[in-house]
Amino acid sequence: MTVKKNRFLFGLWNKESGLSGMLILLFIMHFIAIPFFGSYPHFMIVLNIFWMLFLFAGIFSLSKHTKQAFLISVIPILFVLIQWIDYFNRNIIILFADLVLSVAVMALLIILVLKKVLEPGPVNTYRIIGSIVVYMLMVHFWCTLYLFLFRHIEGSFNIADSQFETNSDQASFMYFSYITMTSTGYGEIVPLHPVARSLVQIEVLTGVLYPVILIGRLVSDANFSRDKQK
């Protein structure tokens, strides 16, 4: 049984306005909300609700069958459930479940957007915006992992003293993830734990290879479309 496409939800993933909305939301989240309001949990919950809506829209728009859509939807549903349980009853099992589901939700969102970016067709604004969205989602993905290590493995990162206080730990590691992904590295945050260093190495490699592979694919698609029109 094929998925019955809702016009609004389907439009979020098949029109430029949908990915543009995601890009705007990411800019607000990464450069305004987290750096300045990251310590206000209720504000962050509202932003996460918007992400869940985008995610459910993508699942039901891009899934081939209703059964497939509902199976994939189990991941974000469990994520929301664990978030609520963690709010009222925090323990080690819930803690690791939250990490696994957070990573799974981010990976699922990246895969769904990347699927649209790499689909056959001419290179247009829609695909360029999607490429930027994927890049920023990957930064958020690594930030989630760094934040977990910092909070639960003492001494995993060394953060230099500063006269300016950051709004939250998440703000610090969102910044760290961006400078790592871009191979900038100013040195205020230094990974010390072997796991932290391995994650940093993988992110640097991802940040180097992603633009190269993406540009190669988009150029290939552009040449194919041009040859097809001749």
As to burial, measured by CB atoms within 10 angstroms (0-12 exposed, 13-18 middle, 19+ buried), residue 183 is exposed
pLDDT of residue 5: 47
pLDDT of residue 16: 60
Helix 66-88 crosses helix 92-117 at what angle (to 10 degrees)? 140
Helix, coil or strand: residue 127: helix
Residue 25 to residue 28: CA distance in whole angstroms: 5
Give me the residues paired with residue 90 across strands: none
Give me the residues paired with residue 157 across strands: 191
Average pLDDT for runs of 10 along the chain of length 230: 47 63 85 81 70 72 67 79 76 84 86 81 79 92 94 91 77 94 89 95 94 80 60
The amino acid that residue 165 corresponds to is E
State how beta strands 189-191 and 157-159 pair.
antiparallel
The token pair that represents 26 in the structure block: 């990411």
The amino acid that residue 161 corresponds to is D
pLDDT of residue 156: 95
The amino acid that residue 105 corresponds to is V
Predicted confidence (pLDDT) per residue in 179-202, tens digit:
999 988 888 899 999 999 999 999
> pTM of the prediction?
0.83
Q: Where do the DSSP E strands lie in 130-179?
A: 157-159
8 A C-beta contact, residue 145 and residue 174: no
| Backbone phi, psi, residue 79, to 5° | -60, -50
| Backbone phi, psi, residue 181, to 5° | -60, -35
pLDDT of residue 3: 45
pLDDT of residue 91: 78
pLDDT of residue 2: 44
